[in-house]
Structure 1
Amino acid sequence: MTGASFRRFLVRPIAGFSVVAIASTNASLPVMAQLPNFQPPPAPRTQNVPNVNRAPTETAYTLGGGDRIRLDIFDVPEYSGEYQVLVDGTLNLPIVGSVEVEGLTIRQASDRISNLYARFVKRPVLTVSLLLPRPVKLSVAGEVTRPGSYTVPLTEGRTFPTVTQALQLAGGITQVANVRSVQIRRRGAPGSQQQFNVDLFDLLRNGDLSQDISLRDGDTIFIPTTTTLNSAENRLLADATFASQPNVPLKIIVVGEVLRPGPYTVTSGNVVQNPAGVTGPSALPGGAGNVVGDRPTVTRAIQLAGGITPSADIRRVEIRRPTRTGAEQLIAVDLWQLLQGGDLAQDAILQEGDTIAIPTATNIDPAEAPQIAAASFSPNLIRVNVVGEVARPGSVEVPPNTPLNQALLAAGGFNNRARKSRVDLIRLNPNGTVSKRTVDINLAQGINDQSNPILRNNDVVVVNRSGLASVSDTLGTILSPVGSIFTFFNFFRIFQ
């Protein structure tokens, strides 16, 4: 041991403390390696530690304008009392006058006041306690329903607001909010600012309450706009406590291949207003209203617009959504996946200002028509006018995707004066033009664009007269004056 130059010091135990043994050496590592039973310490393992942006730890409360404190100086009651921090961050105290306490903790303020009173009081023993904290003023910006400034009074028994509570005050987040990187900006030392991020999606998914930090006076919360939209995550966010309220009316626009395109104001439970002036749940097809508590979705909006037309392309529905940055996000919706696989993510939740566009299909598969017609976002009935030589001419109501043959049968079929080989189909096109075509009729033909096309709302089917009926009517018109003359002479014969 002498060659190794080891020295060992034993510290004797003292009351209230534990025994501590301290060993020191000036031997080099090769000498230590020669000692019996010596095992060198294992080399530390290198681990891949993820770069996690953690929320800040809670810091001590700092004083500011509006705080009400209690100052107690031992054995000097005339200087003790309750005082309020003024707007400029100072306390006006007896004898010492104005004391700057802005940004100081309770302990720091107590030390500063004690040093000032030491000139007048020998060994002052004083206590500073916070009676009533000032109201917390917050700023919320970005993807929230009502961005702006909010003041939270801290009355007795009320704690400091958290991030999620502040978002609730601002009306909740929008559907394009990036809750994975919520920015908190906090005032630090004079002239400086701290910024850190919290992950509210981690709070929803794993219940990490450390992400829902308590806020301080002057904090700013900024919710950035997400660059990638995930419909499944949006549904989870829509049910969060800091999401927008489901009963708030939304103004949306539905355009394209629907029966009644235009703007709508809707709530989660019913229709508030639509262009036709219809209000209440009866505005929906079949008189069915939305379930109270549900959020407006794409299919609900299409229902309010009367349902899709037979020429709608439900695979390429598009939502145009404005963001707080002024840009517009495009969300693709495939309602065919909703029908085929029950993919609820395709029935996207709407938000204020959304525009839903339903394009026109270039090719319609007749085999898919019955399934689309039975969908909840298709109209229950469409109106078709069948005029001319049928048993019951006029307007008939038929299910959507009804072919021409069935509309003729719904009007009672041809009468004995009709030309049964062909009819005229008059259609109002989406661009405002009117088209007319002649369709060869074959009642045994299935759905076929040439001889048995699918009808649209407000189509007009004209059934003309047969050739024999046309000749008969022409002769009747020609002979009608002659018959009138004979009738006139027969009248005078009565009086002869």
Structure 2
Amino acid sequence: MKQITLYIANASLPRQIVPLLTGLSLLAIAGVASPQPTVAQEQIAQNAAPPPSGANSSNATGTYTLGGGDNIRVDIFDLPQLSGNYQIPAGGVIQLPLIGSISIQGLTLEEATTAISNAYAPVLKRPQITVSLQATRPLNVWISGEVNRPGSYSIPLSSGAGNVPSVQFPTLVQAIERAQGVTQIADIRRVEVRRRAGGVGQAQVITFDLWQYLQTGTVSADITLRDGDAIFIPTAPAVNLAEARQIAISTFAPPPSQARTVAVVGEVTRPGRYVVVGGDTLSAQSVQGLPTVTRAIQLAGGLKPQADIRQVQVRRPTSAGSEQIFSVNLWQLLESGDVNQDTILQDGDTIIIPTAAEINPAEISAIADASFSPAKIQINVVGEIVRPGLVEVPTNTSLNQALMAAGGFNSSRAKKSSVELLRLNFDGTVSRRIIQLDFTQGINEQTNPLVRNQDIIVVRRSATAGVVDTVNLILNPTAALLAVPSTGNALLSLLNSLGLIRLPK
């Protein structure tokens, strides 16, 4: 600073003029001591701290707070030896020339500029300082609730092009995608973002309606994230099948190709645990499609004839450790094409196919033709039948139809009033039933039941045929010993030797 000495040379000036000259002299001294910024200086002050703006105006420097990992530059006008680049360490305290330590943790760029200017004020006369953000740290956010992989995620900020690139803050949807999407029971109308605000322990809770975003593409508030945000997605109070399907095909849900392990129990051919993916389970798993209830039933071998497809139950675990139970009506899917009933599965689901209390014969053919029913089943028809042996019939075939598929009775030898039905149960036991035939009746459990896979139908010989066989055996025993039994009769003899049936002597 220049030293200026004021001399009032003419002491004979009027006394009234002396104060005026003194005031003008002081103004001149102030102008010399504090020069006005030049045009170049104003341009430097304006360009030194460009705001890192993103896709939304609220991403300006006023909302970004500094923290450990950020790279900043501190410029002090006309003092390049005191200017420099700094990486903010954990804790937010940096070391500056002349003033030493200063904390800028949690401050915006404007607040950091003010804090550094105040720290330099005792050392420098009217310091002109700018703080600019050179590189941002990754944002650390926590995601919990109804997402497939809850936990902590580090999300880097993306930069644009140019010498002074802009900064794109990650959005709420991008964070959910990193957590592998929401579950099928997520309440996306009440997604909460907890954000640090004010002093220690204080937080601001912001609620977003992602369903509105999914439907209209508009949001009522900014959904860009900040460092330290905690995202919570609550559990929906009930399952809406139509909304669940729309959520499942959105970008913030798991991809259809992602495998899901589910359990299928009840009235299916092979109950157990299965890995379900998108595609046609019966042909190729690589084609497009969604992992739905019917695909899981296909993997389990299809439905049994006694299945109640109106009350298929899905038990779904929640993030809180409980489970939600809801029903789907696959008959409504067959009758009206309501694809919402064929709900998309998530990992850990259990599908329960109940037993129907009453079978409606009119619905049997429709269920048998469905893609989630087995195409064919195999039964054995032995004894006095035209084509004894293994017979392949469509699913949900009745006893009368099975006898016709084997060619019908041997008219001269068969006992046409009744047959014996042998069934292998799932617990390893074998059940035997004598069924009185009535070809005028439709499907019913007493006279015309539905046959199951691996059932054995035994058609006995009539009393007359038994007498004839006995007489022939007495008259020609050698011919009886040399006769080659048919496949059906050989099976009949085997069952007799095992004690499962008793043939007449």
- The TM-score by the shorter chain falls in which range? 0.7 to 0.9
Q: Secondary structure at the match of 2:381?
A: strand
Give the equivalent residue in structure 1 for 2:24.
none
Alpha-carbon distance between aligned partners in 1 of 2:460 and 2:395, rounded to the nearest angstrom = 25
Q: Which residue of structure 2 aligns with residue 471 of structure 1?
A: 467
Q: Does the 8 Å CA contact 2:276/2:295 hold for their aligned counterparts?
A: no
Output the amino acid matched with 1:325: A
1:172 aligns with 2:181: yes
Judge which range, 318-327 or 187-196, deviates more: 187-196
Aligned: 1:88 with 2:91: yes
- Offset of residue 381 of structure 1: 0.9
Q: Does 1:450 align with 2:460?
A: no
The one of 349, 358, 361 aligned to 1:363 = 358
Structure 1: which amino acid aligns with 2:182?
A: I
- Structure 1 residue 392, shift from structure 2 partner: 2.4
Match of 2:154 among 151, 156, 160: 151
| 1:103-142 CA-partner distances (Å, limit 9, x unpaired) | 1110110111111122222221111000001111111111
Structure 1 residues 302 and 64 mapped into 2: Cα distance closer, same or farther (>3 Å)? same
User: 2: distance between equivalents of 1:201 and 1:211?
Assistant: 14
User: In the TM superposition, what whole-angstrom CA distance separates every residue of 1:430-466 from its partner, at most 9, and x where no partner exists?
Assistant: 5655332212234454434333222122221111122
SS at match of 1:209: coil
Q: For residues 94 and 386 of structure 1, what CA distance do their matches in structure 2 show?
A: 99
1:250 matched to 2:260: yes
Q: Which of the residues 56, 60, 64 maps onto 2:63? A: 60
In the aligned structure 2, how far is the partner of 1:402 from the partner of 1:143? Answer: 44
Question: Match for 2:213 among 186, 203, 223?
Answer: 203
Distance in 2 between residues matched to 1:111 and 1:448, nearest whole Å: 89
The match for 1:108 among 111, 120, 139 is 111
Q: Provide Cα deviations, 1:314-348, integer angstroms capped at 9, x if missing partner.
A: 11110010111000110111112222222222111
In structure 2, the residue matched to 1:232 is 242
Show the counterpart of 1:265.
275
Q: Cα distance 1:481–1:188, how it changes in 2: closer, same or farther (>3 A)? A: same
Shift of residue 178, structure 1, vs aligned partner = 0.6
Identify which range, 83-92 or 184-193, moves more after superposition.
Answer: 184-193
**What's the secondary structure of 2:168's corresponding residue?**
coil
Checking the alignment, whether the CA contact within 8 Å between 1:163 and 1:212 is kept in structure 2 is: no
Tell me the amino acid that sits aligned with residue 193 of structure 2: I
Decide whether the 8 Å contact of 2:196 with 2:229 is kept in 1: yes
The answer for unaligned runs of 5 or more in structure 2 is: 1-56, 161-166, 481-505
Counterpart Cα distance in 1 of 2:478 and 2:451 = 45
C-alpha separation in 2, matches of 1:478 and 1:322 = 71
Aligned match of 1:121 in 124, 143, 154?
A: 124
Tell me whether 1:461 sits opposite 2:461 in the alignment. no
Q: Does 1:130 align with 2:133?
A: yes
Q: Residue by residue, what CA displacement relative to the aligned partner does 1:335-377 show, whole Å, maximum 9, x if unpaired?
A: 1222222222211111101110000111111122122222222
- Cα distance in 2 for partners of 1:60, 1:123 equals 27
Partner of 2:431: 435
Is the 2:158–2:169 Cα contact (8 Å) retained in structure 1? no
Question: Are the aligned partners of 1:137 and 1:218 in contact in 2 as well (CA < 8 Å)?
Answer: yes
Residues 150-200 of structure 1, C-alpha deviation per residue, up to 9 Å, x if partnerless?
Answer: 111224325111100000000000000010101101112231122121110
Match in the other structure for 1:417: 413
How much is the aligned-residue C-alpha RMSD, in angstroms? 2.3
8 Å CA contact 1:199–1:211 kept in 2: the answer is: no
Structure 2: distance between partners of 1:468 and 1:92? 114
Q: Give the aligned partner of residue 41 of structure 1.
A: none
* Secondary structure of 2:263's aligned partner: strand
Letter matched to residue 76 of structure 1: L
Of the structure 1 ranges 129-138 and 411-420, higher mean CA displacement relative to structure 2 is found in 411-420
Q: Distance in 1 between matches of 2:442 and 2:120?
A: 102
Alpha-carbon contact 2:144-2:151 (below 8 Å) kept:
yes
Query: Contact conserved, 1:200 with 1:212, CA < 8 A, in 2?
Result: no
Candidates 289, 299, 302, aligned match of 2:297: 302
Aligned partners of 1:482 and 1:131: how far apart in 2?
107
Tell me how far apart the structure 2 counterparts of residues 212 and 172 of structure 1 sit (CA, whole Å).
20
The one-letter code matched in structure 1 to 2:448 is: N
Residue 310 of structure 2 corresponds to residue 315 of structure 1: yes
Q: Distance in 1 between matches of 2:401 and 2:158?
A: 72
Q: Distance in 1 between matches of 2:383 and 2:332?
A: 42
Amino acid in structure 2 at the alignment position of 1:206: T
Separation (CA, whole Å) in 1 of partners of 2:460 and 2:243: 58
Report the secondary structure of 2:404's partner residue.
helix
The answer for the alignment partner of 1:7 in structure 2 is none
Once the two structures are overlaid, the 10-residue window that deviates more, 151-160 or 242-251, is 151-160
Task: Name the CA shift for 1:373/1:116 in 2 (closer, same or farther; >3 Å).
Answer: same
Q: Report the CA distance between 1:229 and its aligned residue.
A: 1.1
Distance in 1 (alpha carbons) for counterparts of 2:176 and 2:182: 7
Q: For 1:454 and 1:419, how far apart are their aligned partners in 2?
A: 21
Shift of 1:211: 4.8
2:83 pairs with 1:73: no
CA shift, 1:212, in A, is 5.8
**Cα deviation, residue 247, structure 1:** 1.0
The 1-side partners of 2:208 and 2:287 are apart by: 33
Instruction: State TM-score, norm by structure 2.
Output: 0.78
Tell me the residue number matched to 2:6. none
Question: Is the Cα contact below 8 Å between 1:298 and 1:350 reproduced in 2?
Answer: yes
Report percent identity of matched pairs. 54
Partners of 1:144 and 1:167 within 8 A in 2: yes
> What is the alpha-carbon distance in structure 1 between the residues aligned to residue 265 and residue 106 of structure 2?
55
Instruction: Say if 1:346 and 1:290 are closer, same or farther in 2 by CA, change over 3 A.
Output: farther
Aligned match of 1:382: 377
